[in-house]
Structure 1
Amino acid sequence: MYLLFPGRHIVTTQFQEEYLDRILGQEIAGLPDLLGDAPAGRVTDLVFAVTSSNKSNSRYNPLPFELRSIVIYEFARQWKRKYGVNFHIVGIPHYQPTDKFSALMLKEIAEQTDCALDLTPDNTVVLSSTPPVIAAFQTLGYAVLPAEYDMAGQRYLREVPTDLVRQIGTGEIGLESLGLSASARTVFSDLPEAGARIVRLYNDPILTEDGDLTETRDYNTYASTMAEVIDLKYQAIKDYIVPGKIVDEGCADGALISRIVRDYPDSDIIGVDLSAEMLARAHEWKRAGAFGNAFVFFKQQNLTTPVSDSQANTSDTVICNSTLHELWSYGRRAESVRSYLRDKHKQLRRDGRLVIRDVVGPSGADNIVQLWCSASDGRTTPEYLDTPAHELSTYSRFLKFQHDFSPRPLHHDSIADAHGDAPQFRLPLRDAMEFITKMEYTDNWASEMHEEFGFWAFDDWKRELTAAGFALHPASQPYVNEWRVANIFTGHVRLEDMDGAPLPWPVTNMVLVGEKRAEA
């Protein structure tokens, strides 16, 4: 049986130490202060849910999660030695006030442990002295031990941790006289910077209780920028999302998730990314409340990580937005993408969907076309290899691209001088579109030269999706990004056939939706 112990856990108290020592050696169901019906048996695992774990440097949360974990570890290991009780420390991020908090906490615990800790009323008792928390878990069907709180008298019988934290901060009572647990006393003695941090925060005349300069600033508006491109990407996929558990793979800083939560606030949204920097930004958005009270969980993971058996049939929607071309480029090309598609089929529940929005190669990729590039929209120079891409004309940038592009060899024939209105290059359509679709990415030119966009045409993608076990959603389609045509292509590049007739723009992007159907 699990004993779930939620709280900020800044300190542990002498009362908590005595209380746990008394209850861990006996049947929980027989305790006189128990509220509700507990599962039979003794506690085998203590689960410390450390709330507001991503908050620190405030009077409300003076210590970071790392220091709080040390306090808990020293406190909990005595029960491991004495009673053989296992313990788990799980950080619960800060949420704005919500009546869903208890449910969100349970979901966090499940996700952070890859569903190894699945806490239900049938296997868990909650230990909490906070009346709203007691009520919330009772509503969910959990039995609760109220500890310091007297339910009949609606009052606290003993000091609670927040009282002791305040006393440390204000210096009302010396550390040696506080009602700390023996283990907490040792930690604060061995790590005096912990107590010093609390004292500093309580004596700062400027900081508010939450550690901000002002309580009225809207930090979401102040700190975040909403890129138009994200709105366009979301509009392309939003109608294909199945509510429930939504996984955004390659979530970056969570910009797309900030749109998803508006339309699916009751879904569980998991953001996955490899980049520690992007996830740090995503966690900052979460700390600032950008995702409201939706359950949003971020984890660092490579998309090539196989789906485990415990993760099978657990998701309703997996979104892969501008990510699979990176998997192809930095992984094992077709092998990595095919393995990924098979894994997503395994991960999704029945009727779940894999929603892919990405670049796509043109049909007729091997057809030879003629390409005109402007020589007057930047520097046209024979020293293009030594010139930053953003300074070059489109003509010189094409030549630089031909040299720098690393995924595969490119071929072209020069057929006219740089200046003038005649096409200067003859080459396969695939190679022309590879340049055209990334020619404006000059700020990250070096990294873009490692990525291939047009490796598969849309028919190839459909074939690979169905080979992985998916049924193709009828709305799946390739399309031309008209915004890019109007703002990036027009006036800078032009395609013609071999007779000099203008060619319509090939498709640049796709929305590909696979559905997991019942097995035959």
Structure 2
Amino acid sequence: MERFVLFPGRHHLLTRFQAEYLRGLGGTVVWAVTSANHQNTKRNPVAYDRREAAIERFSVQEGLRSLVVPVFDTAHTDRFAEVTLKSVESALGIRLAPQNALVACSTPEVAALYEALGFEIAGVEADRDPAPARPWDVLLMLAAGESAWRDLAHPATLDVYDRYRLGEQVALVVNDPVVGEEGGLTTTRDYRTYAEAFEASAARKWELVRRHVRPGRIVDVGCGAGAVLALADREPALRESDLIGVEVARHLYEECVHRKAQGWFSNPNVYFYCRNVLGGAVFPSRSVDTTLTFALTHEIWSYGQRLDSLRAFAAAIYEHTVPGGVWINSDVCGPDGRDRPVRLALQGAAAPAPSLDGLTREQIAALVEALPVRARLDRFAADFHFPLPFTDHGSSVELALGDAMEFLTHKDYPDNWLSEAHEQFCGLEFADWKALLTDVGFEMDGASHAWRNDWIVDHRIASLAELSTLDGAPLDWPVTHVLLVARRPLNT
């Protein structure tokens, strides 16, 4: 009877110790590569195909008979061992059992799941005292810039990492200060509702920018699920252009790839990258004709280092833009004179902000939805990741104009309350934007302007709030959004 060694793990990096250990076990090694559908995240920085390539090369060099099986990520379950065994059986037609296989695993919690099914456990690194560096520890050494990782990594890993420049990618992803472990900006965002909202507004966004788009290489940074690029794909004037989407959130990137496979795009030159532009250059210098960004720059400001991160992003866009090329940015915007003190009257009464600890997203949404507008301000001030001081005057509050608009433009997002409370909409006003873009080298097109979304004012603000000076003179509602058309000068 053929003997097997089931070796479950993410296998982003292989070590010399693993080679020595597996040779001593004998039998056919079944590499169950978990999180095979994940890449470009802190937990899973390397794509499955690169992991598989290294495993196959490792097996040839070490004279091991190996079988490699992808295991897609699942929600946390106590039946992980059973899921993995079923994945192996489905892919290979081989049923692994205690009678024909042992399990090589150094993680005690995972090993216990297989042990409960009757499997003998080979502890790999856990079998040695002192324990050698585990693969993830070696990967973190790489990310930290410690050259000693190369002495511990197996030559097969070194070969694949060097040929495909994976070391640079791993270091960028693992050290990224903005992106979370699962490849998104935040763990509290409901990406389904986020994508639906983006889809609903895609036609309006495209109509706003289409006349400014320069044919050639067109890049949508923060492309969501690809809805705007799908509209660009239908433009006859752009049929010879390359359409490129860049999305940092793994969930949305995977939807882009799925849609391309399903025939959403007629242009054969449509490509998607799962990248964070702040992590380093995505495109060569002077190679992009048009860059589009929608509702993105306020996230860079909010999740990064404010103006420093935004300046780095603008400089990266400038660098990859061809002379004469354009960056078109549509986003929220702070009002002119955002620090000006104003009086804001709101419907309802103040109320202590109840605790959200331990509540699900759905429970938080229901709680926020039930709050009157004035009480919702108290809740928002408690949850907002930026200072929002105000003075209560009973029927009204005194605060800065920018802070008033922060609340009024955030208050209608109960479904993603904690995620939205992490984002500052009014960090920059139009004059700040003009100064920033010209400082990095862009020229401002005359089409650039700040504007007010009257639908939001009419449907979400005006009937629930009144804005006035401190001595009671009514104020008109200020701008809420900005369109920036910035061109790289031809002589640069």
TM class by smaller structure: 0.5 to 0.7
Q: Does 1:456 align with 2:428?
A: yes
Q: Which has the larger radius of gyration?
A: 1
Does the 8 Å contact 1:401/1:435 carry over to 2? yes
Q: Does 1:315 align with 2:288?
A: yes
**Aligned match for 1:412, one of 354, 375, 390:** 390
Task: Give the Cα–Cα distance (whole angstroms) in 1 for the partners of residues 49 and 470 of structure 2.
Answer: 69
SS in 1 for 2:214: coil
Identify if the C-alpha distance between structure 1 residues 70 and 194 changes in structure 2 by more than 3 Å, giving closer, same or farther.
Answer: farther
Aligned residue for 2:489? 517
Does the 8 Å contact 1:384/1:392 carry over to 2? no
Task: Give the Cα–Cα distance (whole angstroms) in 2 for the partners of residues 226 and 507 of structure 1.
Answer: 21
Shift of 1:363: 0.7
Aligned residue for 2:280? 306
Identify if the C-alpha distance between structure 1 residues 350 and 381 changes in structure 2 by more than 3 Å, giving closer, same or farther.
Answer: same
In the TM superposition, what are the counterparts of 1:23-38 in structure 2 within 5 Å?
none
Identify if the C-alpha distance between structure 1 residues 287 and 401 changes in structure 2 by more than 3 Å, giving closer, same or farther.
Answer: same
Task: Give the Cα–Cα distance (whole angstroms) in 2 for the partners of residues 363 and 343 of structure 1.
Answer: 27
Aligned residue for 1:364? 337
Shift of 1:321: 0.8
Percent sequence identity over aligned pairs: 32
Identify if the C-alpha distance between structure 1 residues 479 and 196 changes in structure 2 by more than 3 Å, giving closer, same or farther.
Answer: same
Task: Give the Cα–Cα distance (whole angstroms) in 1 for the partners of residues 422 and 50 of structure 2.
Answer: 43
Identify if the C-alpha distance between structure 1 residues 239 and 500 changes in structure 2 by more than 3 Å, giving closer, same or farther.
Answer: same
**Aligned match for 1:479, one of 451, 471, 480:** 451
SS in 1 for 2:414: coil
Identify if the C-alpha distance between structure 1 residues 335 and 383 changes in structure 2 by more than 3 Å, giving closer, same or farther.
Answer: closer
Which structure's residues are more often helix, by fraction? 2
In the TM superposition, what are the counterparts of 1:424-435 in structure 2 within 5 Å?
424-435=396-407
Q: Does 1:398 align with 2:370?
A: no
**Aligned match for 2:306, one of 333, 354, 377:** 333
Report Cα offsets for 1:113-146 as digits up to 9, x if no partner: xxxxxxxxxxxxxxxxxxxxxxxxxxxxxxxxxx
**Aligned match for 2:317, one of 335, 344, 352:** 344
Does the 8 Å contact 1:265/1:294 carry over to 2? no
Report Cα offsets for 1:29-80 as digits up to 9, x if no partner: xxxxxxxxxxxxxxxxxxxxxxxxx9xxxxxxxxxx9799979x989x99xx
Task: Give the Cα–Cα distance (whole angstroms) in 1 for the partners of residues 243 and 375 of structure 2.
Answer: 44
Root-mean-square deviation (CA, aligned residues, Å) is 3.2
The one-letter amino acid of 1:281's match is E
Identify if the C-alpha distance between structure 1 residues 400 and 385 changes in structure 2 by more than 3 Å, giving closer, same or farther.
Answer: farther
Identify if the C-alpha distance between structure 1 residues 519 and 413 changes in structure 2 by more than 3 Å, giving closer, same or farther.
Answer: same
| TM-score normalised by length of structure 1 | 0.54
SS in 2 for 1:230: helix
Task: Give the Cα–Cα distance (whole angstroms) in 2 for the partners of residues 500 and 233 of structure 1.
Answer: 37
Shift of 1:468: 0.6
The one-letter amino acid of 1:444's match is N
SS in 1 for 2:281: coil
In the TM superposition, what are the counterparts of 1:93-108 in structure 2 within 5 Å?
none
Aligned residue for 2:271? 297
What is the aligned residue count? 309
Does the 8 Å contact 2:353/2:378 carry over to 1? no
Does the 8 Å contact 1:303/1:327 carry over to 2? no
Does the 8 Å contact 1:384/1:399 carry over to 2? no
Task: Give the Cα–Cα distance (whole angstroms) in 2 for the partners of residues 274 and 240 of structure 1.
Answer: 25
In the TM superposition, what are the counterparts of 1:434-449 in structure 2 within 5 Å?
434-449=406-421
Shift of 1:306: 2.4
Task: Give the Cα–Cα distance (whole angstroms) in 1 for the partners of residues 387 and 475 of structure 2.
Answer: 24
Task: Give the Cα–Cα distance (whole angstroms) in 1 for the partners of residues 313 and 50 of structure 2.
Answer: 38
Q: Does 1:499 align with 2:484?
A: no
In the TM superposition, what are the counterparts of 1:51-450 in structure 2 within 5 Å?
227-263=199-235, 264-307=238-281, 311-375=284-348, 381-382=351-352, 384-385=354-355, 388-406=367-385, 408-417=386-395, 424-450=396-422
Gaps of at least 5 residues in structure 1 are: 1-53, 55-64, 79-190, 198-222, 418-423
Aligned residue for 1:465? 437
The one-letter amino acid of 2:455's match is W
Task: Give the Cα–Cα distance (whole angstroms) in 1 for the partners of residues 298 and 424 of structure 2.
Answer: 6
Report Cα offsets for 1:143-200 as digits up to 9, x if no partner: xxxxxxxxxxxxxxxxxxxxxxxxxxxxxxxxxxxxxxxxxxxxxxxx9966879xxx
